[in-house]
Amino acid sequence: MIAVIENELGYPLYDAVGQLKRSLSTDERAHFHFAGAGLEIEADVTRAEFEAWIADDLARIEASVGQALAKAGVAAGAIDRVFLTGGSSLIPAIRGIFDRLFGSDRIATGGELTSIAHGLALIGQEPNIAEWAA
């Protein structure tokens, strides 16, 4: 970790992890490779291993959706369309949560890798962005 910090390799490491996540979104296994400043890390990773690593996050996402529905007083069956966006929506386990809760026929997607940045840019153009800070 010291080599990563001292050689400012944080972003390249982040990018290598992102490439692995993207690969595991379409493939059952992927190869992780990171190299820099004399440091080399390689590993074959399965989607099942990745999903085990993020299991707590998956549980929190599912619980949050359930809480939002309960707080709104709306049953999942009453939702006509669910729009998933953001890179994490490409992760099959996350998509599976929404498929199970709402049915795959009610799921729509788009702009997964750009929509959040686009939305933040639109918020940045607002005359009073403090309204978005709540």
Q: Which amino acid is at 48?
A: A
The residues with which 46 forms a beta bridge, in sequence order, are 29
Q: Quick one: pLDDT band at residue 73, thresholds 50, 70, 90? A: very high
| 105 DSSP 8-state letter | G
CA dist 100 and 120 (Å) reads: 29
- Say if residues 101 and 58 touch (Cβ distance below 8 Å): no
Task: Give residue-wise pLDDT tens across range 3-15.
Answer: 899 999 999 999 9
Structure pTM? 0.80
Return the ∠ at Cα 96 (arms to 90 and 101), rounded to 5°: 125
Task: Give residue-wise pLDDT tens across range 75-116.
Answer: 999 999 999 998 899 999 999 999 999 999 999 998 888 988
Is the alpha carbon torsion for 27, 29, 30, 32 positive or negative? positive
Domain boundaries, the chain: 2-51, 75-132
